Structure formats: C-alpha cells, structure tokens
Amino acid sequence: MQASLGNNYSLTNWYVFGDSLSRGIVYNSEKMRYELSETNFINLISKKFNAQVNNYSSFGATIKKGLQIFQRRKKDIDQPGIAFLEFGGNDCDFMWPEVAESPTLNHQPNVNLDLFYELYQELILRLQDKNIKPIILSLPPLVADRYFQNFSKDLDKENLLLFLGGSTKRIYQWHESYNSVLTDLAIGTNAEYIDIRRVFLEKLNPEKYMCADGIHPNRKGHQLIAKFLAEKLDHNNQ
C-alpha cells in the first residue's frame, strides 16, 4: 500500500525519533531482561505502508538525546517524508537511587517540563525545515504500582514514598503532566498528534497491554498501537 499524508508528504519514507517504545523494546519477564521485539508497532505498520524506515530511537533516550541524534544524522535525513516522535517517558523520570538516599531534597527530573517543551519544539522545527512532517505520539499510560516495584528494587521504598507524597499515584500524575503538553506542542508547531494513550485507557484492563515493568507496552500493546496508528494514517490519507 502506498499513500501520502496531505501536502505531498510521503507515507513511504519514515524517520523515527524516540526512546525504547519506538525502538520496539519489551520486557521479557521469564528471562528478566529487555529485548527487541520484531513485532513492534513500527515494524507492523511499516509493512502495511511499504515504508522505508530510518529508526533513530534509542533505549533510555530523552528529548536531549533525540536532538543529539538528529544533529549527528541530519546529513542522512535528506528525503521528504514523515517522522514519528515519541519522547517523555525518560524525560520525566528521576534518579531514583539519589531520591532514595535523600528524599527531602528538591530532586529534578532528567529533563524539566519547560525544557522538555522547548527542546521538543526545536526538534519538530528542524524536521519541518527538511520538509518532513512530524507526528507526535502520546505516551502510553504507565502502571504506577508495577513501575514503582520495578525501579525501587534494592532501594529504600519508604524514602521513595516519602518523596512521592505517600502514594505511587504521584508517578502517574507526573508522567501525565509531560503527556499533557504534547497537544500544545502540536498546535504550536502545526505538527500531527496521535493519541495512542487513548486506546489503552479505553480497555477495561489497560495493564494487560503493559509489560511487568509497568512502563513498556508488551507485544499485545504494540499490536494495539499498530492497529490504531494504521487506522489514523489511512483516515488522514483520505
């Protein structure tokens, strides 16, 4: 299938910038390690559209790392197309060992929210300068309790909960605050925005589509994202 996304943006030439989600990383509970899934959502939908994919996503990447990767690879990004962007999950995260050691200090996330917006905007504008249509993807909803249990291994859980105000719900709220600015980014830059979070939240048990670590979609989650994205791309092409 070949298609275009308005304004002559080709759907057959893709660039992907993001973290482990758009890289296709899942957590294997049996082997207790992260691994690349060949049935990740980028692979699934790129086959549908016969797309040539340049995936520059990186495990653990923040928007800072995304801009650095763009700078290194900008000479290779020389064809018009679309770019899927997926950042925020690592940007909003904290250095949890440091938090556990001193929970009353004013710890800062990896990238604070204002800088996150500023750098994300810069990446979008640089892509647009190259005649590439950015498509911002929302964050999938994390499972706060699972995520807390995952990152708090071997750490002082009481101190971590003190920092979090006594509840893991704070993790979800903080994560949501980064997700919430993505619509403003799309409006401010005239980028596309696709809310993949919605398809998880519409499910009766969204956690069934998430890995045991609470933050990475599992293989069923990737299939869910792929189906939704394919429908959106088809609709936009009409």
pLDDT, tens digit (0-9, with 9 covering 90-100), for 129-186:
999 999 999 999 999 999 999 999 999 999 999 999 999 999 999 999 999 999 999 9
CA nearest neighbour of 209 among 200, 186, 193: 200
The pLDDT of residue 154:
94
CATH number of the domain bearing residue 233: 3.40.50.1110
* Residue 209 maps to a domain: yes
Residue 43, CB-side half-sphere exposure with 13 Å CA sphere: 12
The model's pTM: 0.93
Residue 55 lies in a domain: yes
Is the per-residue pLDDT at 6 higher than 50? no
In a domain, residue 174? The reply is no
Name the phi and psi angles at 86, rounded to 5.
Answer: -145, 95
| Angstrom distance (rounded) from CA 46 to CA 13 | 9
Cα 197–Cα 203–Cα 207 angle in degrees, nearest 5: 75
Q: What percent of the chain has pLDDT over 70?
A: 94
pLDDT at 118 over 50: yes
Closest-CA residue to 139 (of 96, 112, 176, 91)? 176
Residue 99 maps to a domain: no
Q: How far apart are CA 198 and CA 59, in angstroms?
A: 24
Greatest Cα pair distance, the chain, in angstroms, is 55
> In the prediction, which pLDDT does 12 show?
85
Count of domains for the chain: 1
Arithmetic mean of pLDDT, 69-85: 94
Check residue 199 and give its pLDDT: 96
Task: Work out the mean pLDDT of the chain and round it to a whole number.
Answer: 93
Dump pLDDT digits (tens) for 31-69.
Answer: 989 999 999 999 999 999 999 999 999 999 999 999 999
Burial class (CB in 10 A: 0-12, 13-18, 19+), 214: buried
Q: For the chain, percent helix, then strand, then coil, each to nearest 5?
A: 45, 15, 40
Q: What is the band of 234 on the pLDDT scale with cuts at 50, 70, 90? A: confident
Domain encompassing residue 70: 13-92+111-140+183-237
| 48 occurs within a structural domain | yes
